[in-house]
Structure 1
Amino acid sequence: MTENKNSDFTAQIGTSLKQWREVSHKSIDQVAQESGVSSEVVSQIEQGDSWMRIDDVLKVAQTLGLLEKLKQAFAAPVEQQEAQTEASTNTLEPEAQEGNAQEEAQPKQQGKPQPQPAPAVEQPWLTEANWYDGSMIYQIYPLGLTGAPWRNDGSAEGATNDDPHRLLKIIDDGWIVQAKKLGATCIMLNPVFESDSHGYDTRDYTKVDSRLGTNEDLRAVVDAAHQQGIKVILDAVLNHVGRGFWAFQDVIKNRQDSKYVGWFNIDWNSNSPYNDGFSYESWQGVSELVQLNHNNLELNNYLNDVILRWEKEFDIDGLRLDVAYCLDPGYLKYLRQTANQLTEKRHQKFLLMGETMFGDYNQWMGDDACDTVYNYEAYKGLWGSMNSSNMHEIAYSLERQSGDKPWDLYTGKHLFNFLDNHDTSRIASTLNDKKQLKPLYGLLFGMPGVPAVYYGSEWGIEGEKKFGDHEQRPSLDKPEWNDLTDWIQTLTKARLTTAGAEALCEGDYHELLCQPKQLVFQRACESGRVIVAINADSKPAHLDFNAQCGQGTNLITGEQHDFGGGSDLG
Structure 2
Amino acid sequence: MREWVDHVIWWHVYPLGFGGGFRRLTGWLDYAVELGANGLQLGPVFASESHGYDTTDHFRLDPRLGDDADFDALIAGCRERGLQVMLDGVFNHVGRSFQAPEHWFKHTATGERAVFEGHGALIELNHDEPEVLNHVVRVMEHWLDRGATAWRLDVAYGVPPAFWKAAVGRVRQNRPEAWFTGEIIQGDYVTFLRDSGLDSITQYELWKAIWSSLNDGNFYELAWALKRNNEVLEAGQPLTFVGNHDVTRIASKLTDERHLGHALAVLFTVGGVPSVYYGDEQGFRGVKEDREGGDDAVRPAFPESRDGLAPYGWPVFDLHKRLIGLRRRHAWLVRARTTAEHLTNTAAALVSTDGADRLITLLNVGDEPYDFPIDTAGLRVVESHDDNRSPATVPPHGWSILAG
TM-score (norm 1): 0.64
Deviation of 1:185 (Å)? 1.8
1:543 aligned onto 2:398 = no
> 8 Å contact 1:518–1:533 — kept in the other structure?
yes
> Which residue of the partner structure matches residue 185 of structure 2?
357
> Which residue of the partner structure matches residue 519 of structure 1?
348
Match of 1:180 among 33, 49, 55: 33
> 8 Å contact 1:520–1:534 — kept in the other structure?
yes
> Which residue of the partner structure matches residue 248 of structure 2?
425
Match of 1:457 among 280, 299, 302: 280
Q: Map Cα deviations across residues 452-475 of structure 1 (whole Å, 9 max, x no partner).
A: 110001011111112311111011
Letter in 2 for 1:210: P
> 8 Å contact 2:45–2:52 — kept in the other structure?
yes
Match of 2:267 among 428, 444, 447: 444
Q: Determine helix, strand or coil for the equivalent of 1:365.
A: helix
> How far apart, in 2, do the equivalents of 1:537 and 1:424 lie?
27
Q: Pairwise mapping of residues 155-174 of structure 1 onto structure 2 (< 5 A)?
A: 166-172=21-27, 174=28
> How far apart, in 2, do the equivalents of 1:228 and 1:536 lie?
38
Deviation of 1:177 (Å)? 1.4
Structure 1 segments (4+ residues) deviating >4 Å:
559-563
Deviation of 1:368 (Å)? 4.7
Q: Map Cα deviations across residues 413-460 of structure 1 (whole Å, 9 max, x no partner).
A: 321111111111111111111111112111111122122110001011
Deviation of 1:507 (Å)? 2.2
Q: Determine helix, strand or coil for the equivalent of 2:169.
A: helix
Give percent identity, aligned residues only.
Answer: 30
Deviation of 1:538 (Å)? 5.3
> 8 Å contact 1:265–1:280 — kept in the other structure?
yes
> How far apart, in 1, do the equivalents of 2:67 and 2:238 lie?
33
> How far apart, in 1, do the equivalents of 2:344 and 2:218 lie?
8
Q: Map Cα deviations across residues 91-118 of structure 1 (whole Å, 9 max, x no partner).
A: xxxxxxxxxxxxxxxxxxxxxxxxxxxx
> Which residue of the partner structure matches residue 393 of structure 1?
221
1:206 aligned onto 2:59 = yes
Q: Determine helix, strand or coil for the equivalent of 1:138.
A: strand
Match of 1:471 among 297, 304, 310: 297
Match of 2:358 among 529, 534, 542: 529
Deviation of 1:412 (Å)? 6.6
Q: Map Cα deviations across residues 259-308 of structure 1 (whole Å, 9 max, x no partner).
A: x12101236x84xxxxxxx6111111222101101111122112211211
Deviation of 1:546 (Å)? 3.5
Match of 1:336 among 168, 173, 180: 168
> Which residue of the partner structure matches residue 141 of structure 1?
14
> How far apart, in 2, do the equivalents of 1:311 and 1:399 lie?
34
> Which residue of the partner structure matches residue 189 of structure 1?
42
> How far apart, in 1, do the equivalents of 2:282 and 2:213 lie?
22
Aligned CA distance change for structure 1 residues 393 and 301 (closer, same or farther; 3 Å):
same
1:484 aligned onto 2:325 = no
Deviation of 1:561 (Å)? 6.9
> How far apart, in 2, do the equivalents of 1:202 and 1:233 lie?
17
> 8 Å contact 2:388–2:394 — kept in the other structure?
no
Deviation of 1:385 (Å)? 0.6
Structure 1 portions without partners, runs of 5+: 1-127, 148-165, 248-259, 271-277, 403-407
Letter in 2 for 1:171: T
> 8 Å contact 1:339–1:351 — kept in the other structure?
no
Q: Indicate the structure with greater strand content.
A: 2
Deviation of 1:534 (Å)? 1.9
Aligned CA distance change for structure 1 residues 218 and 342 (closer, same or farther; 3 Å):
farther
Match of 1:290 among 100, 117, 123: 123
> Which residue of the partner structure matches residue 197 of structure 2?
369
Q: Pairwise mapping of residues 14-413 of structure 1 onto structure 2 (< 5 A)?
A: 129-146=2-19, 166-172=21-27, 174=28, 176-247=29-100, 260-266=101-107, 270=110, 279-312=112-145, 314-344=146-176, 349-366=177-194, 368-402=196-230, 408-411=231-234, 413=236
> Which residue of the partner structure matches residue 331 of structure 2?
501
> 8 Å contact 2:2–2:179 — kept in the other structure?
no
> Which residue of the partner structure matches residue 401 of structure 2?
none
> How far apart, in 2, do the equivalents of 1:197 and 1:432 lie?
33
Deviation of 1:410 (Å)? 3.6
Count of aligned positions: 385
1:510 aligned onto 2:339 = yes
Aligned CA distance change for structure 1 residues 360 and 378 (closer, same or farther; 3 Å):
same
Q: Determine helix, strand or coil for the equivalent of 2:268.
A: helix
Letter in 1 for 2:93: H
Aligned CA distance change for structure 1 residues 233 and 301 (closer, same or farther; 3 Å):
same
> How far apart, in 2, do the equivalents of 1:552 and 1:209 lie?
52
Structure 2 portions without partners, runs of 5+: 399-404
> How far apart, in 1, do the equivalents of 2:195 and 2:117 lie?
28
> How far apart, in 2, do the equivalents of 1:534 and 1:284 lie?
39
> How far apart, in 2, do the equivalents of 1:422 and 1:353 lie?
16
Q: Determine helix, strand or coil for the equivalent of 2:128.
A: coil
> 8 Å contact 1:411–1:508 — kept in the other structure?
no
> How far apart, in 2, do the equivalents of 1:440 and 1:537 lie?
15
Deviation of 1:233 (Å)? 0.6
> 8 Å contact 2:43–2:87 — kept in the other structure?
yes
> Which residue of the partner structure matches residue 31 of structure 1?
none
> How far apart, in 1, do the equivalents of 2:366 and 2:279 lie?
25
Which deviates the most, 177-186 or 236-245?
A: 177-186
> 8 Å contact 1:134–1:496 — kept in the other structure?
yes
Letter in 1 for 2:319: W
Larger radius of gyration: 1
Deviation of 1:196 (Å)? 0.4
Q: Determine helix, strand or coil for the equivalent of 1:471.
A: helix
Coordinate RMSD, CA, aligned = 2.2
Deviation of 1:567 (Å)? 3.3
> How far apart, in 2, do the equivalents of 1:340 and 1:454 lie?
28
> How far apart, in 2, do the equivalents of 1:532 and 1:414 lie?
21
> 8 Å contact 1:438–1:487 — kept in the other structure?
yes
> How far apart, in 2, do the equivalents of 1:489 and 1:366 lie?
34
Aligned CA distance change for structure 1 residues 536 and 343 (closer, same or farther; 3 Å):
farther
Q: Determine helix, strand or coil for the equivalent of 1:295.
A: coil
Letter in 1 for 2:355: E
